Copies of this chain bind each other. A is one copy, B any other.
């Protein structure tokens, strides 16, 4: 039996307590300052108020002030904040994590630098740990919604990090007969693939709203246009992967993750609202208070690509869908899918 400490009681981190606890480990779940109500609820009756599931009886719950106690003797630390908690996690948590305990983060995302370089979160964590500190940082990618993991649905994710042995060790702690884990040392590839899918899931979801608008009927089912946007997304994501130096094989994680995100809640919701004809401000107002990774990642990726285009490294013509999503979000553009920019000729095999 090992001790696994989960820092942040968000939905995904909390869902991973299921395989962890069922594997016989001591599970400690620590709420962030924003998770007070969640932890209070859990302490009362094990019910997680945002995941809307009852966690296993026997898990130990902690408020953030008890973090030090929760970390004592830990064999593995799980970290799960959204993009919006990134600074807090870097400033408050990284300094107190023990160096000899591997860390696995569930935060998917990238940050764009001044020169257009896109840096995945695990690398940001590495850069922002206190000077001289060398945490053993690893991350989770791949298609997995928290609700379904909590419900024991078969899910396949990828753990990535620099060190093979650490990855194997973490997998041995968390793998179950429904939580399936691949391993990869291509951190940039895995994280980039799964971060970008948020932007593109928004793009594909535009077609859902457009179809509803045309039919005048919410819930109207049309797939040709979604499929066309899906194919275009795979194309642009593959190009971005190359650009960032990740192996193109990671499109497998990206495509699966794109698939699940299109059906998975908030990103679909915003894309659908925009497709129906709401302005970005109106759509955001409907989603009041909800954190949207897809907006953050679309903006950052588009900004990076534009910077790289200025530098002559990429062509904006290779990213028409990303550019359109960005224009909708950040420049008040109306939804008007640039279909003609998606068609292309491959005459390289002509006789």
Contacts and interface: CB of A to CB of B under 8 A. Distances in A.
Contact of A263 (B145, B223, B247): B223
Interface stretch (A19-27, A92-100, A115-123, A254-262): A254-262
A252 B234 contact: yes
A350 interface: yes
A153 interface: yes
A242 to B, nearest CB: 12
Contacts of A347: 164, 183-185
B227 A251 contact: no
B256 A153 contact: no
Interface stretch (A45-53, A285-293, A324-332, A338-346): A338-346
Given A346-B247, A347-B185, A350-B164, A257 B227 contact: yes
A113 interface: no
A226 interface: yes
Given A156-B339, A182-B345, A235 B259 contact: no
Given A182-B343, A228-B256, A264 B162 contact: no
A222 B225 CA distance: 22
Interface of A: 142-145, 148-149, 151, 153-156, 162-164, 180-186, 189, 207, 211, 221-228, 230-232, 234-235, 238, 247, 249, 251-253, 255-257, 259-260, 263-264, 337, 339-340, 342-351
Q: Which 4 A-B pairs have the closest CB atoms?
A: A231-B256, A143-B227, A156-B228, A227-B260
